[in-house]
Amino acid sequence: MEKQVRVGFVGCGGIANFHFGHFEKITKARITAVCDLIEERVQKTAARFKATPYRDYKEMLAKEELDAVYVCVEPCAHTGMELLAVEKGCHLFVEKPVALSMTYARKVQAGLRRKKLIHAAGFQDRYQDILPYMQNWLAGKQVAFINGYWVGGMPGVWWWRRRETSGGQAVEQTIHIFDMARYLFGDVRSVQAFGRRGLMSEVENYDTEDASAVNLVFKSGVIGTIYSGCFTRTGGKCGIDIYCKNARMDYTERAGFKAIEPNLTIEMKTGNDYGQEEDDAFIDAILENDQDLILSPYTEAVKNLEVVLAANKSMDNGGALVEL
Structural domains of the chain sorted by starting position, each given as residue range(s) with its CATH number in brackets? 5-124+274-294 (3.40.50.720), 129-271+306-323 (3.30.360.10)
- What pLDDT was estimated at residue 112? 98
Task: Report angle CA 78, 79, 80 to the nearest 5 degrees.
Answer: 110
162-201 confidence digits (pLDDT tens): 999 999 999 999 999 999 999 999 999 999 999 999 999 9
CB-count exposure of residue 194 (10 Å: 0-12, 13-18, 19+): middle
- What pLDDT was estimated at residue 119? 98
Closest CA to 46 of 24, 60, 31, 59: 31
pLDDT at 1 over 70: no
- What pLDDT was estimated at residue 3? 82
Dist CA 161 CA 158 (whole Å): 7
Residues 130/75/55/39 CA torsion (nearest 10 deg): -80
Strand runs labelled E in the chain: 5-10, 29-35, 52-54, 68-71, 91-94, 119-121, 143-151, 188-196, 211-218, 223-229, 237-244, 247-252, 256-261, 264-269, 322-323
106-165 confidence digits (pLDDT tens): 999 999 999 999 999 999 999 999 999 999 999 989 999 999 999 999 999 999 999 999
Task: Report angle CA 205, 304, 235 to the nearest 5 degrees.
Answer: 55
SS3 category, 231: coil
8-24 confidence digits (pLDDT tens): 999 999 999 999 999 99
